[in-house]
Structure 1
């Protein structure tokens, strides 16, 4: 199985949904993790609601920092719009997705970002 970590700033929206989609669509192929460069310590209720619409319970996740993964190796690290704020992790492949932070978006805009993340995760699964 390939190990993939999704990283954003707060680990409350984008990276959490990406981890969920990797678990949904990459079951048996990908071991998915998520972290934040400056974790908020909570999952955004909008992200919980957006994933609940698809039958996924995001309340089983927790917001965490990259410190929990020090020294661990990953086959891919996907940063999600945090640029230079995302510290380096040990990885064979680094991928940057420019995905806007949906934290303050309307519910419809939030769902558009969720859909974008799902599409990109599916593409990632097919490529590794």
Structure 2
């Protein structure tokens, strides 16, 4: 059985999808292989995202902002799950990728859009990474290797419904 291959997509591929890719690769060693991409990549990883990962002890080597174009066509790695992480509540357009995989949406505010003091920006990235980690821990609890597409889709959609409030009430 190959690792479950997960692609995280957002618009810029500089923060949320990068945080998701690196964290799942770190936590899901062997079981999961994570990637990230953007519909309009910025071309660079947000330094605050790299700082959040480093603070959590998660390797950042090799992370890059890239187009989703590399995940279509004959040379693309086969995917099992595609997760959009844009914030549809903020009317941010979510990219759509077509293929034979399970799709889900785990919307969350873009910490790269945070403004204010360095402390406020750091807090936005910390909060985003905490929610991403919470959702990824729920993913790791799923028996993805034996799940059919429909039950997996329902479970993934349920994970996407987890909010920061859920995280804080569990703390």
TM above 0.5: yes
Say whether the 8 Å CA contact 1:11–1:40 is kept in structure 2.
Answer: yes
Q: In structure 1, what is the equivalent of residue 29 of structure 2?
A: 27
> Partners in 2 of 1:30 and 1:44 — Cα distance?
24
Deviation, structure 1 residue 25: 1.1
Q: Secondary structure at the match of 1:40?
A: coil
Q: CA deviation at 1:126?
A: 2.1
Which of structure 1's runs of 4+ aligned residues deviate more than 3 A?
A: 82-85
Structure 1 spans left out of the alignment, 5+ residues: none
- Work out which of the residue numbers 111, 114, 120 in structure 1 matches 2:129: 114
**What's the secondary structure of 1:100's corresponding residue?**
coil
Q: Does 1:44 align with 2:49?
A: no
Q: Is 117-126 or 32-41 further displaced after alignment?
A: 117-126
Q: Using the TM superposition, name which of 27-36 and 99-108 deviates more.
A: 99-108
Partner of 1:80: 85
Whose radius of gyration is greater, 1 or 2? Answer: 2
Higher relative contact order (CA 8 A, sep 6+): 1
Cα contact 1:3–1:31 (8 A) shared by 2: yes
TM-score by length of 2: 0.69
TM-score by length of 1: 0.91
Contact 1:77–1:89, Cα closer than 8 Å, also in 2: no
Q: Deviations over 1:26-84 (max 9, x none)?
A: 10101111100110000001001111101223242111001011134311000002655
- CA apart distance, 1:97: 0.6
Q: Determine the C-alpha separation between the residues in 2 that align with 1:6 and 1:70.
A: 14
Structure with the bigger percentage of helix:
2
Checking the alignment, whether the CA contact within 8 Å between 1:47 and 1:58 is kept in structure 2 is no
Unpaired runs of 5+ residues, structure 2, are 115-120, 145-171
